Structure 1
Amino acid sequence: MIYSVQFLRGIAALMVVISHVAFKGQQYNVDTLQWYHIGGSGVDLFFIISGFIMCHTTYNKEVNFLNFMKNRFIRIIPLYWILSFFALIVFLISPNLINSSGGKTGIIESFLLIPNGSKFLINNGWTLSFELYYYFIFAFFLILLLKDIYRYIFIIIYFSAAVLLGIILQPESDFLIFIMNDLLLEFALGVLAFIIFKNVNLSKFISLSLIFIGIFLLTYQNFYKLPDFITLRSLKIGIPMFFIFVGCVSLENLLIATKSLLFNFFNHLGDSSYSLYLVHPFVLSPVAMVLNKLHLVNPYLFSFILITFSILAGSATYFILEKRLIKLGKKQYNFLKYFLPINRKNL
């Protein structure tokens, strides 16, 4: 386990939660967190982390295509499907409670993570479409039996070329927009971060400088506007998050040596980050309604309660559902070997 990555996972999840708490504040006319505009950048950090972790978990290991995809499926799909099924029940009873911001909700698209422009039952699910795309491309290069460094380079080249092609062609199809989206560069940045992690020993000064620069750039964007010629989200948000990520991972030993209550808190958030990310929308709406009916609309109290209940729900989902589903999946999903040649080295 790389503790700095877990720490950053926790921060990424919390950033997304706080951004949605700010949105709830707007809905109920509670003047809370209206100054906070960069919560969505937690998603960009998640993409960079994914780019890095897939390299870390397969480094110097013999991993075939189907085993890799099976493990990824076990990790993300069962919990997502269970919560999507719960969201479907809510949608069938009261459609306005799902995707209240508007747009067509696609049921089949939600479960299969099809990026055709429809809203998913769990609105956050759109990021999982990108995650699966990255997993597929990463797994594809496993088939070629390349050395790790060459595989990483080809992955970076592929996503860079796809994004460049999208910039040139400016496609209108939702699917083409998806497979050429500039967010894909953030997975490539995660892969690049792993190359740096394995081959470059950054000094504490450089690492801290990268973190400072990244935080400064994000803070500036929170309150001011970048020049109009910088249009790609992967540049505006992805690059600062890349700096922060590389800086933090390079300070892994220092972070471990200075463990504290705050460290342990974010480390736990990292463990439960996927559950927190998926389940918090189910918590925010009913809790906000209750607070509004009770007239508990003090800005600070309103935000604190919503964030606290989200974290508690994420932790409960992690221990009760996510961990058990992963354990069960590792036992049950081995049926693939009876139908597909997953033991062949080139697969």
Structure 2
Amino acid sequence: MNKFHSIQYLRACAALLVLFAHAFSYQIGIDNPIIVTAGRLGVVLFFVVSGFIMVYITGNGVFSAPTFLKRRAIRIVPLYWLFTSVAALLAALAPSLFQTTVFTWPHYLQSLFFVVHEAPERDGVSPILALGWTLNYEVYFYIAFAALAFLSVTARVIVLTVFFIAMWLAGLVMAPTNPVIQFYLNASPVAFVIGMWIGRRYLDGGLVSGTRHAWLLGLMAAAGVVLAFVDDGTPLMSQISFVGQVMWAASLLHLGLILEPKLKHWSLLEELGDASYALYLSHIFVIGAVAYLARRTIGYEHPATVLLVSVVSIVTACIASLAIHQMIEKPILLALNGRRTIRNTSLPYAVTGNK
């Protein structure tokens, strides 16, 4: 498979949006709409890209479900288990570092195996590493995708589209109060669906290119961002906001794919794309460490400190993720895949910031 610079850049963009949101929310809270929307846009972009990649790497026909799931597990599980265990260890030994994270063995074990459950001392479902909620959706999508491995790509995409949209509509109609049911009857998996359709069209060479089309996609992406900000907490506006987020992400993915031959090679952005999974899982620890050191040294008396600490957190998290990717993630992947080198392709390693 050829290396797609556009996919790498989008993965980096998604991870940086989440990093930006958490770096600033850690300092000033989560009420700022820019911060909240940035984080949501990053996650939805991850999901749309993931849907595209799963269709692209499995091709037009049937595929081996066990092999598919094995490769997905190799890609996402080791690093997730590592940082989940770090979070669990800190919560057990230094609970004062956390506001709502509590260590219990059931909570830890359910988190490791992507079992959606109500977290102790929290309102709603969450793994012990809170960021792992997106991976619960990824695993949910992988299992559903693999269950239809015997179908052609068109049939697979159609069935999953009907399934995930039906689940979303069921959630709107039923309005369940159980947090676990709410998780599965959520709109989020629909983002995978949109990515799958783009992947389906790409396999058939059906993506339309050209200057006019590129401008149209750019306008759609901008309109999607505007819609993403309309969420006022009411059910209707929340759904409209989600539609905007998906429209933004899908437009960027489509635009990136048709501009792929013209894209310049930006090494740093590509490296951040490679390290996006490591960045996603590790950044919250870096942000916490930088904020702790800032409180102990320079304090928070001056308003400019918030900006300074946030920027330092972002830069430090990026550097740390590059180191983690090179020194931990890549060696693990090489060992588990039985290879000395990873092939020169971004796609098999591109899901949720991850593979």
- TM-score, length basis structure 1: 0.84
- How many angstroms does 1:165 deviate by? 1.9
1:22 paired residue number:
24
Residues 1:157 and 1:209: Cα distance change in structure 2 (over 3 Å): same
1:345 paired residue number:
none
* Structure 2 residue 254 is matched with structure 1 residue 246: yes
2:193 partner letter: A
Farther off after superposition, 14-23 or 240-249 = 240-249
Q: 2:102 touches 2:128 (CA, 8 Å); kept in 1?
A: no
Q: Gaps spanning 5+ residues in structure 1: where?
A: 28-32, 333-347
- How many angstroms does 1:309 deviate by? 0.7
1:5 paired residue number:
7
Residues 1:4 and 1:296: Cα distance change in structure 2 (over 3 Å): farther
Residues 1:36 and 1:318: Cα distance change in structure 2 (over 3 Å): same
Structure 1 SS opposite 2:6: helix
Give the aligned CA root-mean-square deviation in angstroms.
Answer: 2.5
* Structure 2 residue 130 is matched with structure 1 residue 127: no
1:196 paired residue number:
201
Task: Give the whole-Å Cα distance in 1 for the aligned partners of 2:61 and 2:278.
Answer: 28
Task: Give the whole-Å Cα distance in 2 for the aligned partners of 1:251 and 1:235.
Answer: 24
1:307 paired residue number:
314
Task: Give the whole-Å Cα distance in 1 for the aligned partners of 2:202 and 2:211.
Answer: 14
Task: Give the whole-Å Cα distance in 2 for the aligned partners of 1:266 and 1:149.
Answer: 33
Task: Give the whole-Å Cα distance in 2 for the aligned partners of 1:154 and 1:163.
Answer: 14
Residues 1:224 and 1:191: Cα distance change in structure 2 (over 3 Å): closer
Give per-residue Cα distances to partners, 1:301-326, cap 9 Å, x unaligned.
22221101100111111111111111
What does residue range 196-235 of structure 1 map to in structure 2 within 5 Å?
A: 196-198=201-203, 199-219=206-226, 221-222=228-229, 229-232=236-239, 234-235=242-243
* Structure 2 residue 237 is matched with structure 1 residue 236: no
1:238 partner letter: V
Give per-residue Cα distances to partners, 1:70-119, cap 9 Å, x unaligned.
10000000111111112211111112324x25688722222122112323
2:144 paired residue number:
137
One of 158, 163, 169 as aligned partner of 1:158: 163
- How many angstroms does 1:209 deviate by? 2.3
2:288 partner letter: S
1:112 partner letter: F
1:114 partner letter: V
Task: Give the whole-Å Cα distance in 2 for the aligned partners of 1:113 and 1:224.
Answer: 29
Q: 2:61 touches 2:152 (CA, 8 Å); kept in 1?
A: no
Residues 1:219 and 1:269: Cα distance change in structure 2 (over 3 Å): farther
| Runs ≥4 residues deviating over 6 A | 102-105
Give per-residue Cα distances to partners, 1:214-252, cap 9 Å, x unaligned.
134315644886997333253132222222222222211
1:276 paired residue number:
279
Residues 1:170 and 1:104: Cα distance change in structure 2 (over 3 Å): farther
Structure 1 SS opposite 2:37: coil
Task: Give the whole-Å Cα distance in 1 for the aligned partners of 2:33 and 2:228.
Answer: 14
- How many angstroms does 1:23 deviate by? 1.2
Q: 1:204 touches 1:251 (CA, 8 Å); kept in 2?
A: no
Q: 2:50 touches 2:195 (CA, 8 Å); kept in 1?
A: yes
Task: Give the whole-Å Cα distance in 1 for the aligned partners of 2:91 and 2:68.
Answer: 33
Farther off after superposition, 217-226 or 236-245 = 217-226
- How many angstroms does 1:26 deviate by? 1.3
Q: 1:83 touches 1:279 (CA, 8 Å); kept in 2?
A: yes
1:55 paired residue number:
55
Task: Give the whole-Å Cα distance in 1 for the aligned partners of 2:156 and 2:253.
Answer: 21
1:294 paired residue number:
297
Structure 2 SS opposite 1:135: helix
Q: 1:186 touches 1:234 (CA, 8 Å); kept in 2?
A: no
Residues 1:264 and 1:228: Cα distance change in structure 2 (over 3 Å): same
- How many angstroms does 1:197 deviate by? 2.6
Structure 1 SS opposite 2:177: coil
Count of aligned pairs: 319
Sequence identity percentage:
26
Q: 1:36 touches 1:222 (CA, 8 Å); kept in 2?
A: no
Task: Give the whole-Å Cα distance in 1 for the aligned partners of 2:4 and 2:61.
Answer: 18
2:42 paired residue number:
42
Residues 1:166 and 1:103: Cα distance change in structure 2 (over 3 Å): farther
- TM-score, length basis structure 2: 0.82
Residues 1:93 and 1:75: Cα distance change in structure 2 (over 3 Å): same
Task: Give the whole-Å Cα distance in 1 for the aligned partners of 2:28 and 2:332.
Answer: 36
1:30 paired residue number:
none
2:168 partner letter: V
Task: Give the whole-Å Cα distance in 2 for the aligned partners of 1:162 and 1:223.
Answer: 24
Q: Gaps spanning 5+ residues in structure 2: where?
A: 120-125, 340-355
Residues 1:226 and 1:89: Cα distance change in structure 2 (over 3 Å): closer
Farther off after superposition, 118-127 or 226-235 = 226-235
Q: 1:22 touches 1:34 (CA, 8 Å); kept in 2?
A: no
